[in-house]
Structure 1
């Protein structure tokens, strides 16, 4: 009996130490990232690509569940009149959580939007990405309701002016959405501009151009600041 008790206490102690290490050290790891030589737009987050959509103006493109659909404007909280590309990256609690700039440019605006009735759990999306069940966004009401921070960056793509929106979406367990820049500041491509603490999601919204080539698909694993999303 004493042996079993000692074993149980030892296991609990190891689990507690593992949790503390993950929560205080591993979660805040910040590996060096080197952007590719090409001038493509890089991923703003580590994680799994959950949707890639080329979207006409005003069209509701994300089906969450029967009778519930979302437009890009619902996610980015801004009205985009032109055709655009929407790429969503889900970050599990085990991914690196620092967010990086998709392109070099000037931070034009940073806008916070509070949750509508409290942040919803992202458990459905996490489970579906782990099991490979598509569509990954099914039953994920956090896309419509959760707190988010939308950062607009104005830069250049293939020598022509372009802007993009990076949408940081909080989970129920999030301790905060951090921003390390401010409007008017210049930020290099792949540089850290913010962080979301614990599981979360980051979306990239870019006006579509005919010279663009999307390089990722739902289910792909990406690294912030390194993986090219659009070339």
Structure 2
């Protein structure tokens, strides 16, 4: 397992705060309030471990298959439905939404290989990620991939109540590989995937996905 480069600043700040808080509490609490000192030490250490874990990148064998759409993130499948997209597409699409909790791996990966034909950031609100309007009203970044067989897949990285920073690495015109990094959402949230209606879905509501590994659908 490695740590993602997006976590450098956050981890440094967390370590500094951990050392500062416990240096102060050691001086004032340890001599006469030993239990309280060790309780605060345990709590702050747990928070430090949690922050570090946000940026973990576990070693995995990724799924590479030009006839499959893979999960762009770790999380739980919360939506599978036919929708009318609010951007790029004019026809109806099949939406699969994956909710990322703060405990999930936060790296986002390309669901398919192909050319990035659309990349757009949208300012917005910070509704909770499972809110029905989060897909259209929250801060988000949308990408559309065109595969070599002409299929187009849209991904939407969506901020939530805790996730206040979306990172996206894909400019229009880039040719990308399936399972390579698309971006990062700090502290979780949600990723939507919009597929053609003829895609054969391989997951169901409540399934747990692994980014870059779990197959969402086949062509």
2:150 to 153, 161, 172: 161
Gaps of 5+ in 2: 1-29
* Counterpart contact for 2:135–2:192, Cα < 8 Å: no
Q: Which residue of 1 aligns with 2:120?
A: 111
Structure showing greater Rg: 2
Report whether the alignment pairs 1:222 with 2:214. no
Number of equivalent positions: 188
2:141 to 145, 149, 152: 149
Task: State how far apart, in whole Å, the 2-side matches of 1:37 and 1:88 are.
Answer: 21
Task: State how far apart, in whole Å, the 2-side matches of 1:230 and 1:173 are.
Answer: 29
Map 1:1-231 → 2, pairs under 5 A: 5-23=33-51, 25-36=52-63, 38=65, 39-55=67-83, 58=84, 72-73=85-86, 78-115=87-124, 118-122=125-129, 125=130, 139-156=131-148, 160-209=149-198, 212-231=199-218
Task: State how far apart, in whole Å, the 1-side matches of 2:215 and 2:103 are.
Answer: 21
SS of the residue 1:93 aligns to: coil
Task: State how far apart, in whole Å, the 1-side matches of 2:64 and 2:172 are.
Answer: 27
* Counterpart contact for 2:108–2:183, Cα < 8 Å: yes
* Counterpart contact for 1:153–1:163, Cα < 8 Å: yes
When the two chains are superposed, the root-mean-square deviation of aligned CA atoms in Å is 2.1
Gaps of 5+ in 1: 59-71, 126-138
Task: State how far apart, in whole Å, the 2-side matches of 1:227 and 1:121 are.
Answer: 25
Aligned-residue offset at 1:120: 1.9
TM score, norm. by length of structure 2: 0.78
SS of the residue 1:161 aligns to: coil
* Counterpart contact for 1:33–1:190, Cα < 8 Å: no
Q: Are the structure 2 counterparts of residues 142 and 32 from structure 1 closer, same or farther at C-alpha, using a change threshold of 3 Å?
A: same
